[in-house]
Structure formats: structure tokens, C-alpha cells
């Protein structure tokens, strides 16, 4: 198992049959180490979103095996997959995907509710993580009362609250202005500096440049796998505590 968080072994995702067959992923094999910061890039339709769905256990592979933290996800039933998503993966989406009309602290605490953590402990933990992304003051605000950058921070706090092995971000800066984008990427870097494994899907080259390893997809295959820095290296050692 060595120290790979993600291990894909000739994974294919095929839509349709016969003539109409589309290989969204074509026999992809990749291994991502614990503590790495990986950017997955590619044009739209390159298979990077399918890749994200499979890595995030939101969708199953048609062929091949995917091990997350050593667990073969192909053998799991729906309930177990829900548990994996809950405990092993933290999702960050392009459009934040916070639950509307629900306070920031409750949004952050929600994964803990599904993990059957006690209510009081949930709130304490949620406030702690909100504090670590610099939003302790906004705990009681509803998503509609927060800026885009703040909403994304809440989403990141929600992703981190269960202390997952993998932070999976899908175009995390796609809906943000430049300033907020930088703040979010700084936050990712500091999380990485603290040992968090991050996989980030993006189509922006400058965003990808912040990662340690860049994997480029095209037509469902990996066409480039480029390491910019060592697994644990980080260019700007900003001291934001995670």
C-alpha cells in the first residue's frame, strides 16, 4: 500500500454502448502520495471532472480499481461509500455548495452530524475549524450574508471538519475574484504545509502552478504528469495554522 492516498489502476469510465460509446476515462493509472498537493488540469471534456467524481466516490468506475487510503472502493455498497465521503474526503466546490438558510457554523458542523458526533462537540469542533480559516466572527451568518471568498472559506472549513485524508477541490477559485482566489490558494498552501493531501481540479495554469505536481488530462488520458516541487515542499511557508 506504501503511502499512497489515491491509487488508480487502469480505471475507465465508459458512457453509452456500442457505436455511442464514450470513454470519459480511458485506462487511467495514477498514484497520489500522502501530503502531496496535486493539480489536475485539462480542457473541458478532457475527463478531469469524471476523474474528480471517481476520486470523490461520487461515481463508480466502469473498469479498473480505485483504492482510497488503502480501501478498494469498488467493493463498497452505497452506505459505505457515504461513510467514505463523510470521513475520508473533504469536498470544496466551485460554487461553494453551502446549504442555504443555514448558519455558517451549522454548515460546517453538518458532516459531523452524519458522522454521529455529539451535538455539543460538533459545535465546538466547527467553531474551531471556522477559526482556523479566519471566520470565527462570521459563525452565525447565513451563506447569503457572506462574500464569495468567505463562503468558500466556510466550504473549506466544512471539508476539513472531519479531518479527512484527502481535500478534493473542484475549481475552487472558479467563481472568485483575483483577491479572494489568492486568499483561498494561500489557505490551501498553508493546509498543505501542515501535511494535508490536496487534489485540486482547475483549468487555470496560474492556479495549477501553486501545486507541487500538475497532471494534465486530454481525451480521458493523462498526457502529462509534471512535478514542480517535492511532495512536501511549499514555496511560501505562510504561517496560517490549520
State in angstroms the smallest separation of the CB of 160 from another protein. Answer: 12
Pairing state of beta strands 4-15 and 166-170? unpaired
State in angstroms the smallest separation of the CB of 87 from another protein. Answer: 7
Residue 51: strand, helix, or coil:
helix
- Cβ closest to another protein, residue 110 vs residue 127: 110
State in angstroms the smallest separation of the CB of 227 from another protein. Answer: 29
- Cβ closest to another protein, residue 99 vs residue 209: 99
The rounded distance, in Å, linking the Cα atoms of 207 and 173 is: 8
Task: Find the helix or strand (DSSP H, E) in which 86 lies.
Answer: helix 78-87
State in angstroms the smallest separation of the CB of 98 from another protein. Answer: 8
Grid cell 496560474 is found at 206
> Distance from first CA to last CA of the chain, Å, rounded?
27
Contacts with another protein by CB under 8 A lie at 53, 56, 58-59, 78-79, 82-83, 85-87, 91, 93, 97-102, 110-111, 113-116, 118-119, 158, 162
Residue 187: strand, helix, or coil:
helix
- Cβ closest to another protein, residue 169 vs residue 193: 169
State in angstroms the smallest separation of the CB of 162 from another protein. Answer: 8
- Cβ closest to another protein, residue 66 vs residue 93: 93
The rounded distance, in Å, linking the Cα atoms of 27 and 4 is: 19
Would you tell me how many other CB atoms lie within 10 Å of the CB of residue 16? 9
- Cβ closest to another protein, residue 101 vs residue 179: 101
Task: Find the helix or strand (DSSP H, E) in which 107 lies.
Answer: helix 104-114
Amino acid at each position: 500500500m506504501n503511502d499512497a492516498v489515491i491509487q488508480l489502476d487502469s480505471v475507465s469510465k465508459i458512457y453509452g454502448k456500442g457505436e455511442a460509446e464514450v470513454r470519459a476515462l480511458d485506462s487511467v493509472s495514477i498514484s497520489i502520495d500522502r501530503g502531496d498537493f496535486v493539480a489536475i488540469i485539462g480542457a473541458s471534456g478532457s475527463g478531469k471532472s469524471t476523474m474528480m467524481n471517481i476520486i470523490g466516490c461520487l461515481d463508480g468506475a466502469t473498469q479498473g480499481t480505485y483504492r482510497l487510503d488503502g480501501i478498494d472502493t469498488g467493493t463498497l455498497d452505497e452506505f459505505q461509500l457515504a461513510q467514505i465521503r463523510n470521513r475520508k474526503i473533504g469536498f470544496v466546490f466551485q460554487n461553494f455548495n453551502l446549504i442555504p438558510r443555514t448558519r455558517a457554523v451549522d454548515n460546517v458542523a453538518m458532516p459531523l452530524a452524519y458522522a454521529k458526533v455529539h451535538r455539543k462537540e460538533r459545535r465546538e469542533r466547527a467553531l474551531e475549524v471556522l477559526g482556523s480559516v479566519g471566520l470565527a466572527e462570521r459563525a452565525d451568518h447565513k451563506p447569503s450574508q457572506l462574500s464569495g471568498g468567505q463562503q468558500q472559506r466556510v466550504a473549506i472549513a466544512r471539508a476539513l471538519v472531519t479531518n479527512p485524508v484527502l481535500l478534493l477541490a473542484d475549481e475552487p477559485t472558479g467563481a472568485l475574484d483575483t483577491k479572494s482566489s489568492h486568499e483561498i490558494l494561500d489557505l490551501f498552501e498553508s493546509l498543505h504545509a501542515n501535511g494535508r493531501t490536496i487534489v485540486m481540479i482547475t483549468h487555470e495554469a496560474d492556479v495549477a502552478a501553486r501545486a507541487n505536481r500538475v497532471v494534465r488530462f486530454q481525451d480521458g488520458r493523462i498526457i502529462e504528469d509534471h512535478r514542480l516541487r517535492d511532495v512536501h515542499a511549499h514555496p511560501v511557508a505562510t504561517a496560517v495554522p490549520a
